[in-house]
Structure formats: C-alpha cells, structure tokens
Amino acid sequence: MSERRPLLVLGTTDFSAQVAASAADAGFGVAGFVENLSRERCRETLADLPIHWIDELSELSRTHDAVCGLGTTHRSSFIEEAERHGMRFATVVHPRAYVAPTSTVGEGTYIGPHASIAGYARIGRHAIVLMGSLIGHHTEIGDYASILMGANVAGSCRIGEAAYVATGAVVIDHVSVGSGSVVGAGAVVVADVPDGVQVLGVPARIVKEGIDGR
C-alpha cells in the first residue's frame, strides 16, 4: 500500500474541522484547510492549522491530496475548482465506521464515525455519510449526495446525485430519492421522490419544487 500524501480539507467551517479530526483519526496527516471566498480568512488558522487560498493548490496539488469538508449541497463547485488546479482527492473513512467488504466508496467521499454501510452498497464520489447514519444493502448513494447524522436509508434504495437526506430522516426499502432533492429532518420517505423537490413529514410529502441541489 502506497504512503498517504498530506491531506488538505476544502472549507473553513466547523464541519471542515470535524472532517479534519476524522481524517487524523483515520491516519492521514492533515496539513491545513483551503478557502475560496475570502482571502482575509487565510490570515487566520483553523484547528491550529494554516488556511490556504484556492490558487495555492496549483503548487500544493503536486504533493498533497484533498477531501471536501463542506456540508452544503453546492460543494461540487469548490471541488471542481480544486480539480482545475490539479488536485487529487482522498477517501476518508473514520476507523469507527463500518463499511462492508462487498461495498464500494468513491473518491473524495467522507464517512463519519459510527456510520454503517451494509453489503453490496455503492457510495459515489464526493458524498458525505455522517455520524450514526445507516445505509442498507444494495443501496446506491449518488455523487455529491449528503446523508446526515442518524439518517436511515434502507436496502435496495437509490439516492440521486447531490440529493440531501437530513438528520434523522428514514427512507424505506426499494425507494428512490431524485437528484438534487432534499429530504427534511425526521421525514419518512415511503414512495419515490422525483428530482429537484423538497419533502417533509411523516409520510414525506412534496412541499417545494424547483430545488437545485448542485
């Protein structure tokens, strides 16, 4: 197994610091954070580590890998900007998470502590699966999707690209959630959810259309 390169975390939020802590627990050498909105932020530190401006990645990409530490559904633009600077991405799985050996986790994805991913699941690129969430067997989680703390996605489900399943939500087995859609906190999804909508409640019902998760 090749030696891991130093890791940079895209983002300077509290969640970014949590991702960095989990990466350190997983054996990565975390070298700092990356900011792309405010140069002034780069004069500060986060978790006692430096904050680099996005343009520095053209040089840092030669020696470092990255993972995105933003919970927003629109994090794809930051990731794509880093890719244009030549950045490669690491997959971060906390040592207290469980990923079945028959399942796959895509590049740049973050799996938090106590998350559990059952057999034959497929987690896409740059997804986040947060603390205590459950992913059932044969379930597919799309690129850039977000599964928040304590969410329970049952078996043989499909969560679309850039979909957002909020804290404590439940998606029953054999149900799909469309690309860019948002499942509100505590909602129980019992039927397929189309692309680009927000659903709330028990059972979950559409309350807003025209959602753009990317």
| Cut 0.85: pTM above it | yes
Looking at the chain, the whole-number percentage of residues with pLDDT higher than 90 is 93
Q: Which domain holds residue 114?
A: 93-206
Average pLDDT, the chain: 96
Q: Are residues 120 and 82 in the same domain?
A: no
Does residue 163 sit in the same domain as residue 149?
Answer: yes
In this predicted structure, what is the pLDDT of residue 2?
56
1, pLDDT greater than 50: no
Domain end, chosen from 74, 90, 106, is at: 90
Which whole number is the average pLDDT over 84-101?
Answer: 98
Give residue 145's pLDDT band: very low, low, confident or very high (50, 70, 90): very high
* Tens-place pLDDT, residues 27-51: 999 999 999 999 999 999 999 999 9
Confidence band (pLDDT; 50, 70, 90) for 194?
very high
> Long-range contact list for 182-191, CB < 8 A, 24+ apart?
182/73, 182/211, 182/213, 183/151, 185/148
Is position 213 within any domain? no
Mean per-residue pLDDT, 114-120:
98
List pLDDT tens digits, range 49-69. Answer: 999 999 999 999 999 999 999
What CATH number did the domain enclosing 200 receive? 2.160.10.10
- Pairing assessment for the beta strands 49-53 and 45-46 based on DSSP bridges: antiparallel
Asked if residue 15 and residue 60 are part of one domain, the reply reads: yes
- The catalytic residue positions are 137
Domain boundary among 61, 90, 119: 90
Query: Under 8 Å CB-to-CB from 84, ≥6 apart: which residues?
Result: none
Report d(CA 161, CA 180) in Å as an integer.
6
